[in-house]
Amino acid sequence: MKAFLTALRKSRAQTLAEFAVSTAMMATLATTAAPKFSGIGEGAKEKKTMAEIDKIVTAANNWYNKMALPLPEGEGRGRFPGQERYDSQVGGYSGEQQLILVIGDQAPTDSTSFYGFTSAHRTAWRSVFGINHVKAPLPAGSQGVLDDTGSRLGHVEYLEGFGQRPSKSPYQDGHYIYIALPGGVKYTPSEDGMTYTSTDCGSCPPILYVADLERPVKFFKKLKP
């Protein structure tokens, strides 16, 4: 009987020890694996938003080509959604020189670039599908992004190109925005890419930039037909 009780106590001690070791190992795995799983999730969001930006750019290119058709099928000259004419701008930028320090590889990594949805740069951009669209509204705290104004509304024309089904960013603070640089201007970058020289060019098309408000400095595409 004594031998049986002694064996039982040893068995319980081993079970508790094994449980403690297993618990410690699980905690360690959870600590080390969580950042990796989080990274996978963020990577998937990046791919998703870039794919959605590609769709918007493709739709804008299709619109441009449609407008370039002769009358009455088109307007006889290509333009992007929201542009009054091919040589009008949409948003707060009149040339590419202004964008170098805002988005792209040359932009600084500090708060002077268009780093996120609270940046002051957001006031220069326009909403692709409208800031109040029920299926893809501007997130709270991002006031400053505006809808296009004028006789040709960009968000109305983009929605037409998408069959009234807007794309929604996978990010909580994301929202698709755009600007259009006027055509009729040729932008020539310097060797280091830090400056642009602009010259008149009657045949040069406008230039479109589409971005995700989550991180425009990184999540954007440029279209020059």
Domain annotation covers residue 24:
no
The rounded distance, in Å, linking the Cα atoms of 135 and 1 is 74
- In tens, the pLDDT along 20-65 reads 445 555 555 455 544 554 555 889 999 999 999 999 999 999 999 9
Predicted confidence (pLDDT) per residue in 172-185, tens digit: 999 999 999 999 99
Gap between the Cα atoms of 146 and 131, Å rounded: 7
Residue 31 belongs to some domain of the structure: no
Measured between alpha carbons, how far is 152 from 142 in angstroms, rounded to an integer? 24
pLDDT in tens, 54-100: 999 999 999 999 999 999 999 999 999 999 999 999 999 998 888 88
Read off the pLDDT band of 10 (50, 70, 90).
low
Q: Is residue 4 part of a domain?
A: no
**pLDDT at res. 42:** 84
Q: Domains in the chain: how many in total?
A: 1
Confidence of residue 110 (pLDDT cuts 50, 70, 90): confident
**Chain-centre distance of CA 1, in angstroms?**
74
- Beta-carbon count within 10 A of 98 CB: 14
For residue 138, is it within any domain? Answer: yes
Most confident of 59-63, 101-105, 112-116, 201-205: 59-63
Q: Which of 207, 211, 177, 203 has the alpha carbon at shortest distance from 189?
A: 207
Residue 2 lies in a domain: no
49 inside domain: yes
Tell me whether residue 110 is exposed, middle or buried, using C-beta atoms within 10 angstroms of its C-beta: 0 to 12, 13 to 18, 19 or more. exposed
The verdict on residue 1 lying in a domain is: no
Say how far apart CA 177 and CA 221 lie, in whole Å.
Answer: 11
Residue 26 lies in a domain: no
User: Does position 19 have pLDDT exceeding 50, yes or no?
Assistant: no
Q: Which domain holds residue 198?
A: 40-223
User: Confidence class of residue 13 from pLDDT cuts 50, 70 and 90?
Assistant: low
Between 191 and 77, whose confidence is greater? 77
Q: Is the pLDDT of residue 220 over 60?
A: yes
